Amino acid sequence: MARLANFRRMMTHPHKERFDRLDRLSKQLDSVFRIPGTGIRIGYDSIAGLVPVLGDAAAALPAAWILLESRRMGLPKRKLAKQGVNVALDTLFGSIPLLGTIFDVGFKANLRNVEILRRHLEDDALHHR
């Protein structure tokens, strides 16, 4: 029931459209495809990670944009730091050939970071009705 109330508050939040773009981006990066016969979801970030160095660098750009937009939407510094750690871990471990791709499939830094932003915006909407 609380989740439904949070959803309703988000429907009228001034950053809703910007958030929705980030939400779609994070899903494309981390979970757009399902591996047949499994419940495992992967995204373009995991696929790009198969290309050593360049793939991880390319995947870091949209992850950085999520952080920038989170800052613009008022995410506190402590939460931005947590997002930054998620991107750093994803980039660091993701750069290890093969093992990094496996890490990336499980870690899903972009989905984590958008969830941090979602919780902040829901709390913001709750306290500023």
Q: How far is the CA of 72 from the CAs of 1, 11, 48, 67, 77, in angstroms?
A: 30, 19, 27, 9, 11
Report the run of H or E that residue 42 belongs to, with start and end: strand 41-42
Tens of pLDDT, residue by residue over 28-44, are: 999 999 999 999 999 99
129 has pLDDT over 60: no
Please state the pTM of the whole predicted model. 0.88
Tens of pLDDT, residue by residue over 79-124, are: 999 999 999 999 889 888 888 889 999 999 999 999 999 999 998 8
Which residues face 33 on adjacent strands? 42
Task: Give the domain range for residue 111.
Answer: 2-127
Domain count, the chain: 1
d(CA 74, CA 117): 9
3-state secondary structure of 85: helix
